[in-house]
Amino acid sequence: MALVVVTNRIPAEGLDALRAEHEVRAWESEECISRADCLELVKGADAILTLLTEKVDGEFLDAAGPQLKVVANVAVGYNNVDVPACEARGVIATNTPKVLTETTADTAFGLMLMVTRRFGEGERIIRSQTPWQWGMFYLLGMGLQGKTIGIVGMGQIGIAMARRAKAFGMDIVYADDATPPAGALAGLDARKVEFDKLLNVADVVSLHCPYLPATHHLMGAEEFAAMKRTAYLVNSARGPIVDENALVEALRAGEIAGAGLDVFEQEPAVHPGLLEMDNVVLLPHLGSATTETRAAMAQLAADNALAVLRGDAPLTPVTKL
């Protein structure tokens, strides 16, 4: 029997699978674990399930000890995991792709609808009991049909977003250094363009790339200036891909029409400038937040840890980016 540590609360599907084979030490408080508690909790672990709120670096891995074999991140993004530090210690790192693809694309699409059709703004009017009256010109938004979506990062979630956009009658352009697998874009009529070109032509720029040193502040002052003044930004990927100060400046200057954000640069803090703006929709990182998807993520992370503990290959090791 090995010791599996789970650093935050996860759905029972994951815990039950782990407990069936191993001893499990899990953080049970509703409060997110502190760094000090985390370093204490992981001591002696053979496998660790982490959430994106935990920083898995050399200190974390050393606190666990040399017997550690696998860190299974319960998220598709793994910018919280120092993969070279894991490799240097012979620790396998895994993530949870695929199981959250559709749910996260739903969130991105929801943000796009909310911001372009001003649904958040309308809801706030009703909730604040501000007087309102149906009117021909009241709270007009931008229709999506016939508009162009620019997808930055045509991975699984980007493609799922493109499918939704296609169903809504949008034209699709995308920018990605990698080429999507053959057939993955069938029926989408998606055109690959340079990133600069995408910024020029898109009515909605939607971010679906991983957060890496190369994508830090990918969207900054210059990029906002290159977008149409009528265009919107949607970010359901990672906060620091966007320079939040530059975004606030661009919105204030009317360089872009609005933004829908599920993630923030200094999460959970949100730039105060964004809070004041009605043309901005803000969600508290709900990308994969459905009961079904979170259960599937916990199960997949547990299956990854169990496979490594059995001496098998993990199902979804992190891919080199």
Give the integer Cα–Cα distance in Å for 263 and 270.
9
Residue 8 near residue 27, CB atoms below 8 Å = yes
Of 16-24, 71-79, 133-141, 226-234, which part binds ligand GLV (CB under 6 A)? 71-79
Buried b (16+ CB within 10 A) or exposed e, 307-318: bbbeeeebbbbb
Binding to ligand GLV by residue 77, rule CB under 6 A? yes
With CB under 6 A as the contact rule, the residue among 243, 287, 298, 314 that binds ligand GLV is 287
Q: Annotated catalytic residue: which of 118, 164, 208, 285? A: 285
Q: Annotated catalytic residue: which of 164, 208, 238, 294? A: 238
Residue 117 near residue 139, CB atoms below 8 Å = no
DSSP state of 279: T
Minimal distance, residue 310 CB to ligand GLV, in Å: 25
- Whether 22 sits among the annotated catalytic residues: the reply is no
- Name the β-bridge partners of 242: 219
Binding to ligand GLV by residue 97, rule CB under 6 A? no
- Whether 285 sits among the annotated catalytic residues: the reply is yes
Minimal distance, residue 6 CB to ligand GLV, in Å: 16
Residue 3 near residue 44, CB atoms below 8 Å = yes
Minimal distance, residue 288 CB to ligand GLV, in Å: 5
Sheet holding 47-50, edge to edge: 23-26, 3-6, 47-50, 70-73, 92-94
Give the integer Cα–Cα distance in Å for 280 and 305.
39
With CB under 6 A as the contact rule, the residue among 7, 235, 288, 304 that binds ligand GLV is 288
In the window 159-198, what residues touch ligand GLV (CB under 6 A)? Answer: none
Residue 153 near residue 209, CB atoms below 8 Å = yes
Nearer residue to ligand GLV within complex by CB, 76 or 241: 76
With CB under 6 A as the contact rule, the residue among 49, 68, 70, 76 that binds ligand GLV is 76
User: What does the per-residue mask of binding to ligand GLV show for 51-70, with x meaning CB under 6 A?
Assistant: -x------------------
Return the number of other C-beta atoms located less than 10 Å from residue 20's C-beta: 10
- Whether 25 sits among the annotated catalytic residues: the reply is no
Binding to ligand GLV by residue 156, rule CB under 6 A? no
Give the integer Cα–Cα distance in Å for 277 and 295.
35
Q: Which helix (H) or strand (E) holds 72?
A: strand 70-73
Q: Annotated catalytic residue: which of 13, 21, 249, 267? A: 267
Contact residues for ligand GLV, defined by CB under 6 A: 52, 75-77, 100, 287-288
Active centre residues (catalytic): 238, 267, 285
